[in-house]
A and B are shown apart, each in its own frame.
Chain A
Amino acid sequence: MNRFLWPLIGFVVLVVLLGVGLTLNPRDVPSPLVGKPAPAFSLPRLHAPEEQFSPQDMLGKVWLLNVWASWCVSCRQEHPLLVELAKRHSAPLVGLNYKEVRGDGAIDMDKVPADKEEGMAIERAGAWLRQHGDPYTLSALDIDGRVGIDYGVYGVPETYVIDKTGIIRLKHTGPITPDALSNSILPLIAELSK
C-alpha cells in the first residue's frame, strides 16, 4: 500500500504545481513602482505641443495613465473600453503616446530627419484618435521612449492608476480587459476617490 501511496502523492503535488503554473501569466511582471511616487516628467501635449504636461499637474486627483501608440495592435483592442471609461467620467485618463514614430517597425528611421519626428508623431497619433475616438483628457508625447523607461514600460499598452498624492497604486500590463476594468481598476478608483 505504502509503495504506491508516496509516488501517488508526489504525482498529485506535481500536477497541482504545474496546474497553478498554467494559470500564471509569465508576461505579468510585478512592477516595483507600485506604492512609489509616479516618476516626474515634462512632455509636450499632443493637441497643444507648445504646452507641457507633467504628472504634478494632476496632484489632488485620482487619474489613469495609459501608454499607447498608433502602431500598437493591442491598443486597438482595449480602445473601445477606454472610450467607454471616459464616458463615465470616473477619473481623468491621460495618454502617454509612446515612441509613435520610432517604435513603428515599418518606418525606416534613417529616412526620418530628426526635426520632422515630432511633427510626424502628432500627425499620426492625431489621425488615429480621430479615427478610433479620443478617450484621453490629454495625451503627452514620449517621442524617444525615455519616460517609458522611467515607468518600466516593456509592452504597450500599459495602464497605471495614480492616487491623489501622486503614488502609483496599480499597474496593468497589456490591454485592459472588461474583467480587469470592473474587478480591479474601477473599484480601486472608487476607493481612492473617497
Chain B
Amino acid sequence: MRQLMIGLLLALLGCSTGGVSAGEAQPLAENPVTEKRLLEISTELRCLVCQNESLAGSHAELANDLRREIRTLINDGKTDDEIMDFMVSRYGDFVRYRPPLKGTTLLLWFGPGVLFVVGLAGLLRYLRRRDRTITDSPLSAEEHRRAEALLHDNDSRQGRS
C-alpha cells in the first residue's frame, strides 16, 4: 500500500513538472526577483476570463498576456502601485481581489460585520426576553424535605458500595 502511494505521488510529481516545462508560461526574464514580484502582484489580481482564478494561477490566454505585460512593467522599473493602477485603469476595481474602500464597496467591506452585530443584538434581545418569561418557582417546605431525603438516600447508598 505504502509503495503504491509513493509510486502514485512520484507519478503525479512527474506529471506536474513535465507540465511546467512543456507549458506556455515560460519566463521571459529569468530574473528571480522579477518573477517573485510578478507572482506577488498577480496573486492579488483576478483573471477576467475565469473570474474565480487569480492572474497568477490562470491558464487563460489573456492571463498570459497580462503576466507578460506586468513583467515588462516591472522591468521598466514601475512600482507595485503603478502596476496596480495600470490594471485598474483598464479593467476596473473588479480586477483586484482586495477592492479599495469607497462608496460602492462599503457594503462589501462592512456588510458581514453589520450582519454579525445585528444577529448578536437579536440574540441578546431574545435571551433577555426569555429570561423575563422564566419565573422562579420556589420549592415548598414539603418538596424541600423530599429532595433532602432523596439526596440523603443517594449518599448512604454510595457509602455502602
Determine whether the beta carbon of B62 is less than 8 Å from that of A32.
Answer: no
Query: In the complex, what residues of A have CB within 8 A of residue B49's CB?
Result: 154-155
A146 to chain B, nearest CB (A): 8
| Interface assignment of B88: CB less than 8 Å from any CB of chain A | yes
Name A132-151 residues within 8 Å CB distance of B.
145-146, 149-151
Contact partner of A149 (CB less than 8 A), chosen from B69, B92, B93, B94, is: B69
Q: How would residues 90 to 110 of chain B score, 1 for a CB under 8 Å from any chain A CB and 0 otherwise?
A: 111110000000000000000
Contact of A152 among B65, B69, B90, B93 (CB under 8 A): B90
Asked whether A103 lies within 8 Å of B61 as measured between CB atoms, the reply is yes
Digit string of B123-150 for contact with A (CB within 8 Å is 1, else 0)?
A: 0000000000000000000000000000
CB distance from B34 to the nearest CB of A (A): 19
Tell me, yes or no, whether A77 is within 8 Å of chain B by CB: no
Taking CB as reference atom, which chain B residue is nearest A30?
B92
Is the pair A154, B94 in contact by a Cβ cutoff of 8 Å?
A: no
A27-69, CB < 8 A from B? 27, 29-33
Minimum CB–CB distance from B114 to chain A (whole Å) comes to 14
Seen from chain B, the residues whose Cβ lies within 8 Å of a Cβ on chain A are 48-49, 51, 61-62, 65-66, 69, 88-94
A-side interface residues toward B, CB under 8 Å?
A: 26-27, 29-33, 99, 103, 105, 145-146, 149-152, 154-155
